[in-house]
């Protein structure tokens, strides 16, 4: 095959791999935003903590992967509940306060992790045989499919949950008119706790899944946290399909640019990202927005 | 009172009596570069505790004033000013090139000799008489590596991948210039960002160039990830790298199978190299519960040298005297033999090693 | 059914409600009049638990509900149409209506009530999949009323339900309230359209700067010359 | 003379025709009313006139110049001011500041004046405050001068919004449901304000309102809209007797 | 129309409750002072604030006498960060624009001056205006997305562009020295005196801080500041009232670029060293913290925030590994318990006093 085509296809596949990770992270951001109006800047750090918790069970305590996975989701969901309790007074305030509050929580989580688990990180073996398939000189890692599959499943589940269940409806409602929701009998506090629990579990899920691809360490959160956020925005903040689309587009964009000008990939990816935003101010799929005055 | 003797990791507070000899330490203990600072800190702690256990320097205890720079040059400068103010006699600052460059002038003006383990060759060329490097610089590592790979093994088609961080760029420049000395230029030269996790775009480009050797110029974890993904993409080239490739973290990240056969240039091949390293590794394990590696060994060496120089300078423990003693030192350490020139470079050789059956061992 | 004793409400330092006492009997329509800023909405919000009562007490069917968590009150049977509509702009019209039925589990009853609301306000049916934020002002007001109906309360609190509605719809809203009253629902009504309100109500209170200035039979108040001049414009 | 001409304006929202082929003129110096059932497109029409929505078809002319392509602030500068159906005050600013923020535009102060001519800045600031106070005085808002807008009673907020719109020195004022939420006395007062604006200040007023009594007393012409189209137009008397208007809008009672 | 014409609504209260004294529309809420009285009160507060500002400046002028070299260095940073925080507050607090690129403007100022003075042998005073032009231009450029996107969309857009700028500093090796940055940036000379001690340099920074503070003070209390706040409060209404919000937003970003640029130049020559590591996201969030913890939309807040947070950061050093944890927790606690920022302590205090102005029955 023409080497250019090979390079293109291979980086496309790499982009889908990274993109699905961004998508998973983006889902968490969007879910929390849509159901409690919170832009959670600690999401990246919760992602890291989730990955650590799971990894500690899986690698250090030799539990099986699925059990470790479940435990990570559960414990991280608990962490989400605690975070919500702490930040409760900020619920009604401007974006910027929530942003700073969650940033503060992120700093605490980040550095507590360094203290608890050390700065070095843990390498995680793949839970399945990840020997890549070679198709015409292009290698496809089976584990990528797992991630893509899980992301797809989650998006469907979340979509159903938010759009078809009463709790989901109430969550979305509470994010918009808090007082009215209370008057209609919704326990908004509890709902927000649940939201952050689910959001955190999503982060843990992403963290746990990417552990083998990355390497679990305290600094795994930074770039994924930002790029995941960018992905969520790119797709349309708060939209579940948007998170997937945004994640994939951002991942592929990054890789494609990297084949051309490798050191400049981030610069160009972000510039393109901003240009897209200027033309589609509420993302590709689009956040649900009202433009009536 | 000082608690440095009993402390295990990082809780020694410099507030001892005027009898104590105070040395400073600056490094990232938090943030993304926390591991660098922690390694440095623990190596230093080992050496200081040993000296104190033997009664200190001429009966005076050594205490460490430990400051976190978060990997931020700005904060490092604050820390350096604080150390100057607190009248430390010498310092361990810092494990990283950019922060070292940031504080170079302050410590120079205050005449405080300090040990760095940043590998940027530029550090010692900025005219400070007070900076000392406790390891070789990138040029030495990469020249040794290139000499082996090209000169000894006769490889010609070499691909380079490095990151755009300070360390990665140093490695890249040093290795490429070493290749040039052999009349070779890389068949492919790729740069990634320090926090990238997927390298398929760059590695596929490399693969299409069909190299015999793949040089990876990044820190441990990224190196491991790149190696792992290179193999997954079907790149069979021999993987080579600098100091980071000699650490257990690299092996863990890449996996034993991938790491097998990696050739590296380092000052510290393994804990099992000789009786001294074995003893050190055992003591380290006992103290910190972790496996020692080249980072802590070099910090330990640096600390030993600093303490020895202070000891020799005694009772004139001021910056100039300590510096003069450091310059006179002939030190045989875990990572090799040191003899500082007046720029502060003390280590001019590196060793070549590889992994055989998962174990690091020397080549040559 | 509802009894308020000496209610005190503050917003920071602003004393909005200054010792108001009022009662609503079972099956009665009580209207609350008063100029802007008199504290009408504050009283209603306090009943619903959305604003804190600093002093005084509120009891509903003999049960004290002062400062109860608002989300518990729906189950007691209190429905609320807030001032300023407070619809959910990013939910569709139908979703908005369904939020009203959040505390209910009777599927059949809910869909019947939904049909009923659609019958009252056909426009809501045609727009059921439109984001509520894109509705016109009056349509949003209909939605707010419809949503409260879906809570199927036995005590309905209405804060200016006719605001921004076309005259024919205003008439219709009052017709609906009348129907509800005839069905035995108890209603507390705040309305600027005093004529309509007094026609509908059994009793009424007139509020001035946080205090009750007048109270009495709706018919009597209608004849009171101050009320006529200020609220009815006659 | 016709100050504003709406020429076959249509506006769609994803297939929904909110207004269709609407045309009518607004005479200089008149108080012109727009009524119509909920959702008949009155607010949309205002949004088109004031530049927030671009018409999908048709044109809007103001003083014989097209304005439908201008952005909202340019429309305002051309001489049109508006209020909103849901109040839009600068909530965290005082009453005085709400008005000053609008008056600032005409002060001609540029950022560099702060450095090169601070004296001028201070002088003009004083002038601005004086003008603002004069305006507040007229609207009987002076006693609220230093209150944050969000803390004002609703009626006062409404008055402030009108005062603020007037601070832009418009030739045409668009009012969207100014009487909503006001009681009878307050509505009377509003009627006086609207008349004052037209009579004393010579500003043409285009007003949307559901309070028919108010409309009957203040308007010279009323345009009735229904389902996005103009149903009829005429004097209040003509309109209120129109059969179609009664069935579509007023209901049996009128 | 006179005011009598329009206060009819008061009659309601009087006629229904004849026993009551004539009341203002809302008794609980009526200001005692008349318009003219409150105007003179405003004048008084301005004189007051002039007095306080002079005192504060005097304090900052004599402060170094009592401090050692290290403390002066920290003080240097404190006044430097005041410039940064005020600049950020102008866009974020006053104009309401999510600006996460302030650190990038800071970097552009610092690097421009560093490059001009080390590679092209400009003097500090020649490099300064050019650097400011560059950073301001950068502010305008990065502010452009604000014309289309808002809120968190704008936050990530500016953050992304800031990351891009930082990457460029790393990648443009030849010019910027790449990841290890530029060393040996010369100290400025003033009247032939080299400002090569922390003490002397401090007065240079302080001069700029005072000037830029005064500029910010006039901006925020006069027309431009009001337009900024109008845009922040309601951009839709602002447009309807003839305010060109695009112009205001870009102006706010330009000011952010200018302030950060000045700070960047001062920073580069203070440390004689710049590297991309300094201007990363952490730095951005640190500035953001200063502004919010100090009190958004209040330049005194930026001043207070800079003092408190920089001193706190130094003080926290004693907690070693825990310092960042404590720092994070501190931020959370402050945001949660003092959302108005440090300046709101004062208003909490004042609220008591002011409440006497309102007759509460
Ligand atoms: N959230 C609030 N914060 C501060 N003051 C408030 C708040 N809500 C209401 N107020 C004040 O409390 C007083 C009573 O307000 P309320 O809304 O209860 O009056 P209302 O009778 O419903 O008037 P309207 O006819 O305008 O709806 C007013 O002075 C108002 O300014
Ligand atoms: N941005 C928008 N997106 C979708 N539909 C819209 C939008 N704006 C208005 N509409 C629709 O257009 C129609 C006209 O709305 P508009 O607000 O103009 O009505 P109105 O005449 O002002 O009614 P009201 O008297 O209730 O305020 C409504 O059916 C509304 O749902
Ligand atoms: Mg009310
Ligand atoms: Mg309308």
Tell me the per-residue pLDDT of E135-188, one tens digit each, with 9 for 90 and over: 999 999 999 999 999 888 999 999 999 999 999 999 998 899 999 999 999 999
Half-sphere exposure of B144 (CA within 13 A, CB side): 22
Residue with tokens 């021999």: B238
* Chain C neighbours, 3+ Cβ pairs < 8 A: A, D, E
Distance CA B25, CA B80 (A): 9
Nearest CA in chain A to C157: A183
Q: Which residue lies with its CA nearest to atom 14 of ligand 1?
A: C39
Dihedral sign from CA coordinates of E307, E308, E314, E315:
positive
Report yes or no: E287 and E88 within 8 Å, Cβ to Cβ.
Answer: yes
Query: Measured in angstroms, how far is the CA atom of residue C14 from the centroid of ligand 1?
Result: 9
3-class SS of residue A189: helix
Inter-CA distances, E18 with C225, D147, E91, E268, Å? 14, 28, 53, 73
Q: What pLDDT is attached to residue B14?
A: 43
| Whether residue B263 has pLDDT greater than 60 | yes
Residues E250 and E144: their CA atoms lie apart, in Å, by 7
Query: Does the CA dihedral C143-C147-C152-C157 come out positive or negative?
Result: negative
> Can you give the pLDDT at residue E332?
95
Rounded (5°) CA angle B20-B25-B30? 135
D47 CB neighbours in chain A (<8 A) are: 293
Tell which phi-psi region holds residue B255, choosing left (phi > 0), alpha (psi between -120 and 50) or beta. Answer: left
By CB atoms closer than 10 A (0-12, 13-18, 19+), residue B5 is middle
Residue A263 touches chain B, beta carbons under 8 Å: yes
Alpha-carbon span D30 to D3, nearest angstrom: 10
- Residue C92 pairs in a beta bridge with C131
Q: What number does the ligand 1 atom closest to the CA of C34 have?
A: 21
Please say if the pLDDT value at position B63 is more than 90. yes
Cα–Cα distance measured from residue A122 to residue B220, given in angstroms and rounded to the nearest whole number: 12
Chain E contact present for A107, CB below 8 A: yes
- E strand residue ranges, chain E: 189-190, 193-194
Radius of gyration of chain C (CA): 17
Kindly give the number of the ligand 2 atom that is closest to the alpha carbon of D53.
1
- CB-based contact B167:B142 (threshold 8 Å): no
pTM given for the model: 0.92
Kindly state if the Cβ of C189 falls inside 6 Å of ligand 1: no
User: Hey, which residues does C59 pair with through a beta bridge?
Assistant: C3, C64
Mean pLDDT of chain E: 84
Backbone dihedral angles phi then psi of residue A193, each to the nearest 5 degrees: -60, -45
Note the pLDDT tens digit of each residue in E173-228: 889 999 999 999 999 999 988 898 889 999 999 999 999 999 999 999 999 999 99
Instruction: Give E16's pLDDT tier (boundaries 50, 70, 90).
Output: very low
Are there at least 3 beta-carbon pairs closer than 8 Å between D and C?
A: yes
CA count, 13 A, side-chain hemisphere, E335: 31
Residue of C nearest to E8 (CA): C230
- At residue E2 the predicted structure's pLDDT band, cuts being 50, 70 and 90, is very low
Out of D39, D153, D185, whose CB is closest to C138?
D39
- Give the residue from E285, E294, E306, E359 showing the smallest Cα distance to E78: E306
State the pLDDT at residue B224: 95
CB B122 within 8 A of CB B345: no
Q: Which residues of E touch B79 (CB under 8 A)?
A: 317
With CB atoms and an 8 Å threshold, state whether D114 touches E218: yes
CA E202/CA E74 separation, integer angstroms? 10
Residue C207 Cα: closest atom of ligand 1: 21
Question: Which residue is it, tokens 């649900």?
Answer: A288
Residue B93 to residue A229: CA distance in whole angstroms: 36
Q: Which of B176, B229, B182 has its CA nearest to residue B203?
A: B229
Distances (CA, A) of D90 to C31, D46, D152, E340: 33, 21, 12, 19
Q: Which helix (H) or strand (E) holds C17?
A: strand C14-24
Q: Which chain D residues contact residue A293 at CB under 8 A?
A: 43, 47, 52, 84-85
Pocket perturbation via mutation, ligand 1, pick of D91, D143, D147, D154 by most ligand atoms within 8 A of CB? D154
Taking the CB of residue C56, how many other CB atoms lie within 10 A of it?
Answer: 17
Cβ atoms of E316 and E323 within 8 Å: the answer is yes
Q: For residues D63 and D171, is the Cβ–Cβ distance under 8 A?
A: yes
Question: What number is the average pLDDT over the span E23-33?
Answer: 33
Cα Rg of chain E, angstroms: 24
- In this predicted structure, what is the pLDDT of residue D234? 95
CA gap B261, B245 in Å, rounded = 11
**DSSP string across D49-115:** HTTSS--SEEEEEETTEE-TTS-HHHHHHHTEEE--SS----TTSBHHHHHHHHHHHHHT--TTHHH
Mean pLDDT of B158-187: 95
Q: Determine the length of chain E.
A: 361
**Long-range interactions of D12-17: CB distance < 8 A, separation 24+:** D12/D56, D13/C134, D17/D228
Please give the average per-residue pLDDT across B159-186, as a whole number: 95
Residue D128 has what pLDDT? 94
Q: Which of E151, E236, E336 sits opposite A89 (nearest CB)?
A: E336
Q: C141 CB under 6 A from ligand 2?
A: no
| Cβ–Cβ contact A93 with E under 8 A | yes
CB A234 within 8 A of CB A286: no
Give the Cα separation of B80 and B83 in Å (integer). 5
- Chain D window 195-254: which residues touch E at a Cβ cutoff of 8 Å? 196, 200
The overall longest dimension of chain A from CA atoms, in Å, is 65
ipTM over 0.95: no
- Predicted confidence at residue E41, as pLDDT, reads 53
In whole angstroms, what is the distance from residue D6 CA to residue B340 CA? 88
- pLDDT exceeds 50 at position B3: no
Does residue B7 or residue A75 have the better pLDDT?
A75
Query: Which of the residue ranges A196-205, A257-266, D233-242, E86-95 would you say has the lowest mean pLDDT?
Result: A257-266
Q: Does C98 touch chain A (CB under 8 A)?
A: yes
Query: Above 50 in pLDDT, residue C108?
Result: yes
Ligand 1 atom at minimal distance to the Cα of residue E26: 29
The reported pLDDT for the residue numbered D250 is: 87
Rounded to the nearest angstrom, the minimum Cα separation between E68 and chain B is: 7
The token pair that represents B52 in the structure block: 């104190």
Residue A171 CA to residue C113 CA, distance in Å, equals: 23
Q: Do chain E and B touch: 3 or more Cβ pairs under 8 angstroms?
A: yes
Nearest CA in chain A to D50: A293
Considering only CB atoms, C167 lies closest to which of D13, D85, D251, namely D251
Token pair belonging to A272: 């393109």
In this prediction, residue E247 carries a pLDDT of 95
Convert the pLDDT of each residue in B27-55 to its tens digit. 998 888 889 999 999 999 999 999 999 99
C-alpha pair distances (Å), D137 with each of B261, D96, D162, E357: 88, 11, 13, 21
Query: Distances in Å between the alpha carbon of D197 and those of A249, D173, D190, D212, E167?
Result: 56, 9, 11, 20, 58
Whether the per-residue pLDDT at B362 is higher than 50: the answer is: yes
The pLDDT tens digits of the residues spanning A194-243 come to 999 999 999 999 999 999 988 999 989 888 999 999 999 999 999 999 99
The least confident of A96-100, A240-244, B112-116, E21-25 is: E21-25
Q: What is the pLDDT of residue E40?
A: 53
Q: Is the pLDDT of residue E134 over 90?
A: yes
> Averaged in consecutive runs of 10 residues, what is the pLDDT profile of chain D (254 residues)?
94 92 96 95 96 95 95 95 92 94 87 89 92 94 91 88 95 94 88 94 96 94 95 94 90 59
What is the rounded distance in angstroms from the CA atom of residue B333 to the CA atom of residue B277? 9
With a cut of 80, say whether residue E9 has pLDDT above it.
no
Write out chain B residues lying below 8 Å of A110, CB-based: 30-31
Beta bridge partners of E275: none
pLDDT at B158 over 50: yes
User: How far away, in angstroms, is B293 Cα from ligand 1 center?
Assistant: 69
Separation between Cα atoms, residue B10 and residue B136, nearest integer Å:
26
Is C84 a pocket residue for ligand 1 (Cβ < 6 Å)?
A: no
D35, D154, D213 ranked by CB distance to C37: nearest: D154
| C36: exposed, middle or buried (Cβ count in 10 Å: 0-12, 13-18, 19+) | buried
In the beta sheet, which residues pair with residue B140? none
Task: Compute the 3-state secondary structure of chain D and give helix, strand, coil in percent, each to the nearest 5.
Answer: 45, 25, 30
Q: Strands across the sheet with D172-176, in order?
A: D80-82, D172-176, D204-208, D31-35, D221-226, D229-234
Nearest CB to A185; choose among C75, C87, C147? C75
CA D108 to chain centre: 25
Q: Dump pLDDT digits (tens) for E282-315.
A: 999 999 999 999 999 999 999 999 999 999 999 9
Query: Residue B145 in contact with residue B354, Cβ under 8 Å?
Result: no
> Angle at the Cα of B17 (from B14 to B20), degrees rounded to 5?
70
- Does any ligand 2 atom lie closer than 6 A to the CB of residue D43? yes
Tokens representing A133 are 């398939």
């Amino acid at each position: 095959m023409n080497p250019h085509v090979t390079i293109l296809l291979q980086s496309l596949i790499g982009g889908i791999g990274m993109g699905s990770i961004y998508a998973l992270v983006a889902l968490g951001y969007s879910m929390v935003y849509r159901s409690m109006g919170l832009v959670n800047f600690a999401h990246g750090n919760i992602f890291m903590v989730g990955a650590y918790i799971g990894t500690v069970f899986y690698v250090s305590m030799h539990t099986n992967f699925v059990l470790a996975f479940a435990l990570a989701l559960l414990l991280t969901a608990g962490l989400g509940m605690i975070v919500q309790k702490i930040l409760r007074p900020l619920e009604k305030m401007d974006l910027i306060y929530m942003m700073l509050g969650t940033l503060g929580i992120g700093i605490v989580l980040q550095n507590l992790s360094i203290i608890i688990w050390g700065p070095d990180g843990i390498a995680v073996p793949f839970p399945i045989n990840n020997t890549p398939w070679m198709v015409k000189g292009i290698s496809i890692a089976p584990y990528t499919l797992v991630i893509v599959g899980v992301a797809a499943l989650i998006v469907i589940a979340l979509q159903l949950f938010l759009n078809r269940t009463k709790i989901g409806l109430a969550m979305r409602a509470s994010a918009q008119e808090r007082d009215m929701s209370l008057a209609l009998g919704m326990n908004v506090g509890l709902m927000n706790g649940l939201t952050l629990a689910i959001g955190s579990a999503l982060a843990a899920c992403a963290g746990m899944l990417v552990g083998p691809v990355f390497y679990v360490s305290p600094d795994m959160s930074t770039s994924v946290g930002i790029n995941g956020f960018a992905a969520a925005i790119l797709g349309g903040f708060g939209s579940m399909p948007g998170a997937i689309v945004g994640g994939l587009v951002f991942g592929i964009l990054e890789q494609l640019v990297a084949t051309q000008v490798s050191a400049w990939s981030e610069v160009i990816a972000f510039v393109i990202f901003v240009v897209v935003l200027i033309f589609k101010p509420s993302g590709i799929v689009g956040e649900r927005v009202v433009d009536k005055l | 009172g000082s608690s440095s003797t009993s402390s295990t990791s990082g809780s020694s507070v410099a507030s001892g009596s005027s009898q104590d000899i105070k040395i400073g330490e600056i490094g990232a203990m938090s943030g993304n570069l926390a591991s660098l600072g922690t390694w440095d800190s623990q190596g230093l702690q080992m050496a200081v505790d040993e000296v104190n256990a033997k009664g200190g320097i001429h009966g005076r205890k050594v205490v460490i004033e430990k400051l976190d720079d978060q990997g931020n040059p700005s904060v490092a400068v604050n820390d350096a000013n604080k150390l100057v103010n607190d009248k430390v006699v010498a310092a361990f600052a810092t494990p990283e090139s950019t922060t070292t460059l940031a504080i170079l002038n302050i410590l120079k003006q205050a005449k405080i000799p300090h040990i760095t383990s940043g590998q940027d060759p530029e550090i010692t060329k900025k005219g400070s008489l007070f900076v000392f490097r406790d390891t070789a610089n990138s040029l030495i590592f990469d020249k040794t590596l290139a000499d082996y790979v090209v000169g000894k093994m006769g490889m010609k088609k070499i691909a380079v991948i490095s990151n755009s961080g300070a360390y990665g760029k140093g490695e890249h420049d040093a290795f490429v210039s070493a290749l040039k000395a052999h009349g070779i230029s890389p068949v492919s030269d790729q740069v990634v960002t320090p926090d990238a996790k997927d390298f398929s775009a760059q590695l596929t480009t490399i693969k299409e160039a069909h190299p015999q050797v793949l040089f990876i110029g990044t820190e441990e974890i990224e190196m491991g990830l790149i190696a792992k993904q290179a193999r997954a993409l079907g790149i069979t080239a021999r993987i080579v790298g600098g100091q980071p490739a000699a650490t257990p973290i690299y092996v863990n990240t890449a996996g034993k199978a991938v790491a097998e056969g990696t050739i590296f240039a380092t000052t510290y091949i393994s804990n099992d190299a000789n009786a001294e390293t074995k003893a050190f590794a055992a003591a380290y394990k006992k103290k910190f519960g972790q496996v020692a590696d080249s980072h802590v060994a070099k910090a330990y060496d640096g600390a030993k040298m600093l303490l020895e120089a202070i000891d020799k300078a005694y009772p004139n423990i001021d910056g100039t005297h300590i510096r003069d003693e450091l310059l006179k030192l002939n030190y045989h350490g875990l990572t090799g033999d040191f003899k500082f020139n007046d720029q502060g470079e003390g280590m001019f050789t590196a060793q070549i090693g590889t992994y055989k059956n998962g174990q690091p061992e020397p080549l040559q | 059914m509802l009894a308020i004793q000496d209610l005190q409400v503050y917003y920071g330092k602003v004393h909005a409600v200054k010792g108001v006492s009022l009662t609503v009997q079972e099956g009665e329509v009580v209207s609350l009049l008063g100029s802007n800023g008199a504290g009408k909405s504050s009283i209603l919000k306090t009943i619903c638990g959305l604003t804190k009562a600093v002093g005084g007490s509120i009891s509903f069917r003999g049960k004290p509900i002062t400062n109860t968590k608002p989300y518990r009150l729906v189950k007691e049977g209190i429905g609320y149409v807030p001032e300023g509509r407070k619809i959910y702009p990013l939910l569709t019209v139908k979703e908005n209506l369904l939020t009203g039925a959040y505390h209910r589990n009777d599927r059949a009853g809910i869909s019947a009530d939904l049909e009923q609301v659609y019958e009252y306000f056909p426009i809501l049916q045609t727009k059921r999949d439109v984001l509520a934020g894109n509705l016109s002002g009056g349509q949003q007001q209909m939605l707010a009323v419809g949503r409260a109906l879906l809570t199927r309360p036995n005590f309905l609190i209405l804060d200016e339900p006719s605001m921004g509605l076309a005259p024919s719809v205003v008439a219709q809203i009052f017709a609906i309230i009348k129907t509800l009253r005839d069905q035995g629902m108890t209603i507390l009504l705040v309305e600027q359209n005093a004529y309509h309100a007094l026609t509908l109500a059994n009793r009424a209170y007139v509020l001035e700067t946080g205090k009750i200035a007048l109270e009495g039979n709706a018919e009597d108040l209608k004849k009171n010359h101050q009320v006529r001049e200020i609220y009815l414009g006659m | 003379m016709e100050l504003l001409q709406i020429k076959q304006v249509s506006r769609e929202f994803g297939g929904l025709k909110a207004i269709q082929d609407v045309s009518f003129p607004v005479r200089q110096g008149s108080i012109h009313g727009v009524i119509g059932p909920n959702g008949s497109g009155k607010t949309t029409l205002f949004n088109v006139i004031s530049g927030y929505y671009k018409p999908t078809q048709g044109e809007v002319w103001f003083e014989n110049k097209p304005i439908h392509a201008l952005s909202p602030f340019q429309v305002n500068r051309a001489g049109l001011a508006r209020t909103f159906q849901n109040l839009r005050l600068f909530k965290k600013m005082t009453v005085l500041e709400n008005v000053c923020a609008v008056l600032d535009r005409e002060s001609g102060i540029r950022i560099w004046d702060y450095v090169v001519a601070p004296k001028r800045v201070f002088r003009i600031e004083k002038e601005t405050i004086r003008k603002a106070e004069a305006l507040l005085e007229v609207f009987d808002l002076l006693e609220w001068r230093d209150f944050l807008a969000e803390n004002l009673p609703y009626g006062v907020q409404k008055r402030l919004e009108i005062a603020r719109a007037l601070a832009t020195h418009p030739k045409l004022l668009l009012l969207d449901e100014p009487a909503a939420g006001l009681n009878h006395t307050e509505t009377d007062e509003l009627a006086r304000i609207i008349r004052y604006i037209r009579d004393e200040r010579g500003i043409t007023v285009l007003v949307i309102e559901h309070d028919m009594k108010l409309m009957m007393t203040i308007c010279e012409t009323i345009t009735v809209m229904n389902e996005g189209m103009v149903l009829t137009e005429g004097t209040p008397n003509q309109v209120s007797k129109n059969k179609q208007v009664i069935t579509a809008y007023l209901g049996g009672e009128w | 129309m006179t005011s009598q014409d329009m206060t009819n609504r008061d009659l309601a209260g009087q006629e229904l409750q004849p026993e009551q004294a004539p009341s203002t529309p809302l008794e609980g809420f009526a200001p005692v002072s008349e318009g003219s009285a409150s105007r003179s009160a405003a004048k008084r507060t301005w004189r007051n604030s002039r007095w306080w500002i002079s005192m504060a400046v005097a304090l900052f002028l004599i402060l170094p006498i009592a401090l050692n070299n290290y403390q002066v260095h920290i003080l240097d940073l404190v006044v430097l960060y005041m410039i940064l925080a005020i600049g950020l507050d102008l866009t974020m607090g006053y104009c309401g624009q999510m600006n996460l690129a302030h650190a990038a403007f800071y970097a552009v100022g610092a690097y421009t001056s560093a490059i001009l003075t080390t590679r092209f042998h400009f003097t500090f005073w020649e490099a300064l205006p050019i650097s400011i032009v560059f950073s301001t231009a950068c502010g305008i450029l990065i502010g452009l997305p604000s014309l289309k996107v808002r809120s968190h969309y704008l936050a990530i857009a500016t953050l992304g562009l800031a990351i891009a700028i930082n990457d460029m500093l790393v990648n443009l090796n030849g010019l910027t020295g790449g990841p290890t940055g530029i060393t040996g940036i010369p100290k400025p000379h003033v009247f032939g005196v080299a400002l090569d001690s922390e003490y002397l340099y401090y007065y240079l920074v302080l001069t700029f801080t005072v000037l830029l503070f005064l500029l910010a003070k006039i901006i925020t209390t006069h027309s431009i500041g009001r337009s900024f706040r109008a845009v922040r409060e309601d951009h839709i209404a602002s447009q309807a009232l003839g305010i060109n919000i695009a112009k205001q937003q870009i102006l706010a970003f330009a000011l952010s670029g200018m302030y950060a640029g000045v700070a960047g130049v001062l920073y580069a020559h203070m440390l004689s060293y710049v590297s991309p590591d300094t201007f990363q996201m952490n730095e951005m969030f640190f500035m953001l913290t200063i502004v919010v913890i100090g009190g958004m939309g209040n330049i005194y807040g930026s001043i207070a925030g800079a003092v408190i947070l920089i001193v706190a950061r130094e003080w926290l050093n004693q907690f070693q590994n825990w310092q960042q944890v404590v720092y994070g927790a501190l931020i959370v606690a402050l945001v949660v318990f003092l959302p108005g920022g440090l300046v709101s302590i004062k208003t909490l205090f004042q609220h008591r006093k002011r409440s006497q102005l309102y007759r509460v029955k």
